Amino acid sequence: MANPTYLPHIAYDSVVFGFSGDELKILIMEYHNTGLFALPGGFVGVHEDLNNAVRRGLKERTGLDQIYLEQFYTFGNFNRHNPEVMRTILKANGLEPSESQWLLDRFISVAYYALINYKDVVPQPDALSDSCEWYAIDKLPKLMLDHKDIVSKAVDTLRDNLDRKLMNLLPERFTMKELQQAHEAILGQKLRRTTFQRKMLGTELLIRHKKRFSGKAHKAPYEYSFKA
């Protein structure tokens, strides 16, 4: 049974990254009464641009409409199709799908990742979910279908050209220590402080501002921001 509202066989999934100050986190949803965890996703309206559909879905989940968003891969393997998963979700929400239900069809998913300031977001679940929560990247619950693969691909993509993208995860001004902590959380490894600082100052990507005073003037670190 076709749906006149959405394009058939096309979905999107979003990996929403946030940096909490010491951990890289992503938003994960738990479907009502199923124990199934998934990335925020959705469908594309028949009169809607793909990018606008993703931004609409992210605004519903995060409350934000100014989000750095990047399309990074399309997932279309045949074995990602498992109609029983969607059937379980629908039944848990009091719906009895017929065999011709469009939601049980095979979907190709266009994957995006979003970079947002962790402190700006109050996550909101959708109508089929009990929760939408931040999870540390190394403490994720078991994800349904191929969502683990989507996360892995997103992390690999984020690690490429990292310095160009970090400005979307950090506040407008930050210390060198906070910048290093963000790198370490994304790369999954510790970095030598002096080497890291020398490298970052050598990139000419940063603007140095006044020191951040917190009562210990002799230890006050400089604040930095990214050049436009």
Domain with residues 6-160, CATH architecture: Alpha-Beta Complex (3.90)
pLDDT level of residue 1 (50, 70, 90 thresholds): low
Q: Could you tell me what percent of the chain has a pLDDT over 90? A: 51
Percent share of the chain, pLDDT over 70: 97
Which of the pair, 163 or 118, is modelled with greater confidence? 118
pLDDT tens per residue across span 134-190: 999 999 999 999 999 999 999 999 888 777 777 778 888 889 998 999 898 888 889
pLDDT grade for 43, boundaries at 50, 70 and 90: very high
| Torsion sign over Cα 89, 114, 162, 190 | negative
Query: Does the domain made of 171-226 have the CATH classification 3.40.50.300?
Result: no
Contact 59, 65 (CB under 8 A): yes
What's the length of the chain? 228
The residue ranges of every structural domain in the chain are 6-160, 171-226
φ/ψ of residue 185, rounded to 5: -65, -40
